[in-house]
Structure 1
Amino acid sequence: MSRVLIAGESWVTMSTHIKGVDSFTTHSYVEGVGPLRDALTAAGHSTTHLPAHLVPQQFPDDAAALADYDLVVLSDIGANSIQLAPRVIDRSERGHDRLANLAAWVADGGALLMVGGYLSFTGFEGKAAFRQSPLAPSLPVELLPEDDRVELPAGAAPSVLRQDHPAVGGAGAQWPHLLGYNRVRARAGATTLAEIAGDPLLVVGEHGKGRTAAFTSDCSPHWAPPEFCERWDGYGNLFDGLVRWLTA
């Protein structure tokens, strides 16, 4: 089975409570990684979660550190968090270009999956910022220069184009509805396995000796509702199939 690193899929929420002339704030830590981590663990994969707030300090620096894994999954974590380690942004010291090193690791035979979200691909207000990063050429999709989110509050069902492809994992032709995604364009030579609202949803390709994939919606709420990530039997098959194809 594969050794998988999932970076991102967590956040801290701050709430301000105003009561008359007085106010106070509360904070909560939330992880959205549960459905994906649990599905991959159940399929036998060794899964490590690196929460978003630890990514700047602990994301693997180079090929030697990345060698501990077969697949890196980036989910709702922006380029800045990976590139700008504390020594660089806080102390103006030279460090590793971790996105460039990740791209080189993939080209040398590693595997990469980017999952959609407000801080994936181009992202909310362009803040995910992968389009002009060294990692962009590794992805099987081309990124938009503007905010790429497409919100689908009424829901839309994916269209599966290649249900026979091993990366789909036998998830079938009927997938539950999703509530949004990042709009991208499939790169020349890549294979689009599923679409949503006429745009790519699942795209796979190769980068050098390695393999890459883009799943442009979420792996957890809010874009992936419980009908998709909790109640659908195909969820685990889909992501297990992706991992197996990417690391084959």
Structure 2
Amino acid sequence: MKKALLLGESWMTHMIHQKGFDSFTTTEYVEGGQEFRAALESDGWEVTHLPSHTIESRFPADLTALLEYDLVVISDVGANTFLLTRAVFGRSASEPNRLELIREYVERGGGLLMVGGYLSFSGVDAKANYANSPLNDILPVETLLTDDRSEHPEGAVIVVRDAAHAALGGVGDEWPQLLGYNRTKPREGAILLAEVNGDPLIAVREYGRGRTGVFTSDMSPHWAPPPFMEWAGYAPLWRGLSTWVAG
């Protein structure tokens, strides 16, 4: 059975409700990525999801454990979550660099897929900060050093460059529009499969004995609007991309 490790795709929202003199707060916890998981599981994948706040305690302890997965997917969670555990940040203890571990995992034959979001690639206010991480050089795109969000409430048109490539799952070249994405630069030697507003949307490459890929927009709302989420090509696209990157 093919095995995927989904990292991220969760968030907490803490709201202040001000009503005249008085106020109160509410907190909401949400997990995304259900449609992505369903797409892979319908094709025989076993998907393990580590929400953002569990990465610290549940991330595979070493390379052997990580290599049990065919694919690692990072979606909308920044580099600091991997690097600044409570031991490192709170107690100044030394620990293995988890992003270096993922890099070595790819070198040894694993597959890495990075999916866009406000805390992917560079992200909002450049807080995702993958440009300065061990993963930057192994991705099929170059990550920017500034806030890389490209917001398109009017809808951004997707141009497919190689509809026949196996990583696109045979979904053709007529795709619904997206509402935004992370801007990146094409990397020399990588394969650019689809663009959005002239920037990379889907790109793949081989690295060491493994492969890496990117989808620079969301797998879930908000950048992926209902027409994209309900598109007949949604599940075949993710199955094709995940299978190719996993090798």
TM-score interval, normalised by the smaller of the two chains: over 0.9
For 1:236, the aligned partner's letter is A
2:167 alignment partner, SS class: helix
List aligned pairs for 1:96-115, cutoff 5 A: 96-115=96-115
**Contact 1:2–1:243 at 8 Å: present in 2 too?**
no
For 1:136, the aligned partner's letter is N
**CA distance in 1: counterparts of 2:13 and 2:133, whole angstroms:** 28
Identity of paired residues, percent? 52
For 1:111, the aligned partner's letter is G
**Contact 2:129–2:145 at 8 Å: present in 1 too?**
no
Which residue does the alignment assign to 2:27? 27
**CA distance in 2: counterparts of 1:186 and 1:61, whole angstroms:** 33
Which residue does the alignment assign to 2:2? 2
TM-score normalised by L of structure 2: 0.97
**Contact 1:62–1:102 at 8 Å: present in 2 too?**
no
**Is the counterpart of residue 247 in structure 1 residue 223 in structure 2?**
no
Task: Please state how far the C-alpha of 1:86 moved relative to its aligned partner.
Answer: 1.8
2:180 alignment partner, SS class: strand
For 2:37, the aligned partner's letter is R
**Contact 1:109–1:211 at 8 Å: present in 2 too?**
yes
Report Cα offsets for 1:183-226 as digits up to 9, x if no partner.
11111100000000011100000111100001001101000011
**CA distance in 1: counterparts of 2:67 and 2:206, whole angstroms:** 19
- Backbone CA RMSD of aligned residues: 1.0
Which residue does the alignment assign to 1:77? 77
Flag structure 2 segments of 5+ consecutive residues without an equivalent. Answer: none
1:181 alignment partner, SS class: strand
Which residue does the alignment assign to 1:65? 65
**Contact 1:113–1:213 at 8 Å: present in 2 too?**
yes
TM-score normalised by L of structure 1: 0.97
For 1:219, the aligned partner's letter is M
Which residue does the alignment assign to 1:232? 231
List aligned pairs for 1:87-166, cutoff 5 A: 87-166=87-166
Task: Please state how far the C-alpha of 1:132 moved relative to its aligned partner.
Answer: 0.9
Which residue does the alignment assign to 1:13? 13
**Contact 1:88–1:94 at 8 Å: present in 2 too?**
yes
Task: Please state how far the C-alpha of 1:56 moved relative to its aligned partner.
Answer: 2.2
2:17 alignment partner, SS class: strand
List aligned pairs for 1:37-76, cutoff 5 A: 37-76=37-76
Number of equivalences: 247
**CA distance in 2: counterparts of 1:167 and 1:132, whole angstroms:** 28
**Contact 2:112–2:246 at 8 Å: present in 1 too?**
no
Task: Please state how far the C-alpha of 1:112 moved relative to its aligned partner.
Answer: 0.1
**CA distance in 2: counterparts of 1:143 and 1:187, whole angstroms:** 10
Task: Please state how far the C-alpha of 1:18 moved relative to its aligned partner.
Answer: 1.6
Task: Please state how far the C-alpha of 1:64 moved relative to its aligned partner.
Answer: 1.7
**CA distance in 2: counterparts of 1:196 and 1:20, whole angstroms:** 45
**CA distance in 2: counterparts of 1:217 and 1:180, whole angstroms:** 6
For 1:156, the aligned partner's letter is A
Report Cα offsets for 1:158-182 as digits up to 9, x if no partner.
1111010000011111111100000
**Is the counterpart of residue 209 in structure 1 residue 182 in structure 2?**
no
